[in-house]
């Protein structure tokens, strides 16, 4: 089992809310799931956390932390925030990117002055099962596809709305970075195409940062960008580019028996691991996120240790002996074939149906911005022609901001942004700029055309 109470321990372990929800013990569920940790940092907002069971047979449970808007929580929009990876904890979004508190070294939580929680209620959800604090007793229950992930998210939302019925019918935004942009697009398509009375939300739009949206062997081939950023020399450039050419040639044969080979080659080429990947050996970087740092930032490593500390874990009702997963190898293995799935039709569908904000990072070494921006131009949707011919403009978060913070390109319901100086960790690199970008989307100042 995932957790077992030790003799003499006062630790209550993980808080499973599904039995209370099914028994209609909503008051008890809300009382027991209450989180007071953030109020001690000066945050005037209600917070709840715990586990929702999405597969009883396998005992698959999704961990969430829900923080209500500080202003007008009875009418504020509801946002679902998921993290990429796949498998990163959503608490990284809360503590390092956009939450009402921010982690500061060595082990401090302080109030974040610019936070979307001021005006938006946010669910931080560890998804898929096996990401962050979410877990299952049966590894064969790990998601193998976006459909599996979407199904679990919808089951989570169904139970969430039973526990918090005041959010029925609320404006709803699906948001996340990197791989999570993929979840957001897939969830949007399902909710818009097959609306369920059990998940009664008014779908408002998608926010996808540095997204894994384009085909992986195109998007992750960063050889040109790495060479131009002086991270690869001429020999390294040829080697890195040729490796991607080999993978593309294998997939072009349309022989599915080669796909596991391609996935293995990809895992040894990009990102960072032990033994070192080709990216590490050629660039001598140990972090593939930004041209500006060769190692993963210390505050990120310290935050992981803090989030995995027994005191913090008990405060958010996961139990002090529950382990925080950062890159679950079993989950990555089960989901690996999804890496090769082309989702352009899903992206085109949501562009035709709802409001969309996609932002990319000028210094992103994982999914280079020019790759994504070019991909956006290939998409065929109602306003594609307008998007292709419209001129980009500079953007600043507020009038007195010195200089420009991004390039923006908009056509009716779709805005794409290139955030200057930002890498793959997005709002970790540029919290102020991404905050204002998200809020302008939520407030319908961008990607919105009155009908």
pLDDT at 10: 57
Mean pLDDT, rounded, of the chain:
93
Q: Are 210 and 241 in contact (CB under 8 A)?
A: no
Q: Which CATH class is domain 17-209?
A: alpha beta
Mean per-residue pLDDT for 91-98?
Answer: 92
Kindly give the residue spans of alpha helices, DSSP state H, lying in 13-56: 18-22, 26-33
Q: Which region holds residue 83: left if phi is over 0, alpha if psi is between -120 and 50, else beta?
A: beta
Q: Where are the domains of the chain?
A: 17-209, 216-295, 342-443
CATH number of 342-443: 3.40.50.12670
Name the pLDDT band for 403 (thresholds 50, 70, 90): very high
In degrees, rounded to 5, the angle at the alpha carbon of residue 385 between the alpha carbons of residues 382 and 391 is 125
Q: How many other C-beta atoms can be found within 10 angstroms of the C-beta atom of residue 199? A: 20
Which residues are bridge partners to 60 per DSSP? 55
Cα–Cα dist 146/434, whole Å: 26
| Closest by Cα among 230, 174, 181, 218 to 367 | 218
Task: Answer whether residue 425 shows pLDDT above 70.
Answer: yes
Cα–Cα dist 408/382, whole Å: 19
pLDDT digits (tens, 9 = 90+) for 311-328: 999 999 999 888 898 888
Task: Answer whether residue 8 shows pLDDT above 80.
Answer: no
pLDDT at 440: 97
Name the pLDDT band for 20 (thresholds 50, 70, 90): very high
Q: Are 102 and 95 in contact (CB under 8 A)?
A: yes
What's the half-sphere exposure (Cβ side, CA atoms, 13 Å) at 159?
26
């Amino acid at each position: 089992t995932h957790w077992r109470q030790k003799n003499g321990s006062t630790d209550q372990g993980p808080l499973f809310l599904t039995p209370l929800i099914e028994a209609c013990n909503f008051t008890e569920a809300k009382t027991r799931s209450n989180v007071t940790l953030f109020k001690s940092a000066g945050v005037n907002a209600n917070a709840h956390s715990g586990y929702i069971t999405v597969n009883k047979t396998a005992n698959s449970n999704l961990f969430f932390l829900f923080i209500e808007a500080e202003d007008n929580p009875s009418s504020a929009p509801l946002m679902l925030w998921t993290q990429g990876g796949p498998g990163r904890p959503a608490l990284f979004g809360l503590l390092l990117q956009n939450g009402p508190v921010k982690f500061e070294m060595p082990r401090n939580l302080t109030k974040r002055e610019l936070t979307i929680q001021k005006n938006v209620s946010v669910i931080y959800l560890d998804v898929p099962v096996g990401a962050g604090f979410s877990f299952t007793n049966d590894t064969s229950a790990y998601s193998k596809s976006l459909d599996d992930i979407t199904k679990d998210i919808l089951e989570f939302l169904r139970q969430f709305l039973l526990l918090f019925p005041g959010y029925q019918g609320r404006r709803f935004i699906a948001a996340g970075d990197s791989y999570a942009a993929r979840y957001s697009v897939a969830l949007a398509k399902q909710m818009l195409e097959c609306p369920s009375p059990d998940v009664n939300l008014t779908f408002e739009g998608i926010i996808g940062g540095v997204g894994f949206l384009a085909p992986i062997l195109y998007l992750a081939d960063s050889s040109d960008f790495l060479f131009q950023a002086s991270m690869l020399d001429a020999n390294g450039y040829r080697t890195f580019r040729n490796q991607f050419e080999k993978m593309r040639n294998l997939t072009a044969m349309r022989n599915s028996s080669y796909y596991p080979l391609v996935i293995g080659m990809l895992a040894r080429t990009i990102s960072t691991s032990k033994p070192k990947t080709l990216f590490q050996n050629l660039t001598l970087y140990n972090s593939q996120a930004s041209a500006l740092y060769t190692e993963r930032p210390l505050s990120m490593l310290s935050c992981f240790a803090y989030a995995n500390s027994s005191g913090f874990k008990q405060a958010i009702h996961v139990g002090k002996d529950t382990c925080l997963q950062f890159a679950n190898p079993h989950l990555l293995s089960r989901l690996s074939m999804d890496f090769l799935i082309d989702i352009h039709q899903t992206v085109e569908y949501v562009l035709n149906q709802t409001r969309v904000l996609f932002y990319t990072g000028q210094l992103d070494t994982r999914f280079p911005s020019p790759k994504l921006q070019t991909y956006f131009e290939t998409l065929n949707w109602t306003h594609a022609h307008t998007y292709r011919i419209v001129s980009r403009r500079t953007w600043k978060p507020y009038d007195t901001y010195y200089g420009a913070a991004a390039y923006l390109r908009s056509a009716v319901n779709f805005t794409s942004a290139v955030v200057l100086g930002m890498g793959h960790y997005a709002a970790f690199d540029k919290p102020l700029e991404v905050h204002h970008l998200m809020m302008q989307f939520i407030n319908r100042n961008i990607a919105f055309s009155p009908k």
